[in-house]
Amino acid sequence: MRAKKHADLAPEALELVAGRFRVLSEPLRLLILQALRDGEKNVTELTEIAGSTQPNVSKHLRVLQEAGLIGRRQEGNTVYCFIADPSVFDLCDTVCGSLSSRISAQSRLFARRR
């Protein structure tokens, strides 16, 4: 199956696309997105899942929010985060599927060499 062909993008649009990929290039941000896939979580929960510090997780949450990928709501003193742009999972699923196919093909190659 071939992807849809998009018209050539202007340099400004390409910069926006590159910016989205930069946001997704950090493993901790991907972990946060993965954790939020099943529903909203508060910052404390995300900090525990990430195994990181609260300031570090908050920094990454801010980047994800500025990119429009997550939203935040406050309830009392607790901040809850949620996925604001679920289309990010289409991209993640595409990349994961491609990596899985590549790993399977490499595995078959190595199995033949034995």
Domains present along the chain, CATH in parentheses = 11-85 (1.10.10.10)
Pairwise pLDDT comparison (104 vs 86), residue with the higher score? 86
Pairwise pLDDT comparison (35 vs 101), residue with the higher score? 35
Q: What angle do CA 60, 65, 66 make, to 5 degrees?
A: 100
Mean pLDDT calculated for residue range 24-39: 96
pLDDT at 1 over 90: no
Pairwise pLDDT comparison (19 vs 93), residue with the higher score? 19
pTM (2 decimals)? 0.78
pLDDT at residue 60, rounded to an integer: 98
pLDDT for 80-98, tens place per residue? 999 999 999 988 778 777 6
3-state secondary structure 32-84: HHHHHCCCCEEHHHHHHHHCCCHHHHHHHHHHHHHCCCEEEEEECCEEEEEEC
Beta partners for 42? 80
CA 67/CA 20 separation, integer angstroms:
7
pLDDT confidence bin for 113, thresholds 50/70/90: low
